[in-house]
Amino acid sequence: GIQVEQSPPDLILQEGANSTLRCNFSDSVNNLQWFHQNPWGQLINLFYIPSGTKQNGRLSATTVATERYSLLYISSSQTTDSGVYFCAANSGTYKYIFGTGTRLKVLA
């Protein structure tokens, strides 16, 4: 089955800094999503992006399906951006496979 890898595993930023999170996947995908998991465990949808580029405020994402990777950009980071960011994808089956996540801490 498809494998999903995320990097970096941990990231510490000063408030106002920009960052790029990466998600590599081992096969072509039908569906790909980025989530932010808050400290209470809630998974918040950031982007549904099996291909192309999307932007939502300070966040944007790009998936290059032919090269099997997706990037999540966070600009002008805020302390509320802290948490774990997950990439999840599926390919030909009905189960989404999650990466191991990137733990982001933004310092004031």
Partner 1 sequence: DAGVTQSPTHLIKTRGQQVTLRCSPISGHKSVSWYQQVLGQGPQFIFQYYEKEERGRGNFPDRFSARQFPNYSSELNVNALLLGDSALYLCASSFEQAVYYEQYFGPGTRLTVT
**How many residues are present in the chain?**
108
d(CA 64, CA 11): 23
d(CA 15, CA 108): 5
Provide, rounded to whole angstroms, the least separation between the CB of residue 40 and partner 1: 7
The two tokens of residue 77 are 């980071």
Provide, rounded to whole angstroms, the least separation between the CB of residue 100 and partner 1: 5
Nearer Cβ to partner 1 (5/15) = 5
d(CA 32, CA 44): 14
Nearer Cβ to partner 1 (17/69) = 69
Nearer Cβ to partner 1 (33/82) = 33
Nearer Cβ to partner 1 (14/40) = 40
Provide, rounded to whole angstroms, the least separation between the CB of residue 48 and partner 1: 4
**Which positions lie near partner 1, rule CB under 8 A?**
30-31, 33, 35, 40-43, 45, 48, 50, 86, 88, 92-101
Using CB atoms within 10 A of its CB, is residue 37 exposed (0-12), middle (13-18) or buried (19+)?
Answer: middle
The two tokens of residue 86 are 């997950």
Provide, rounded to whole angstroms, the least separation between the CB of residue 15 and partner 1: 26
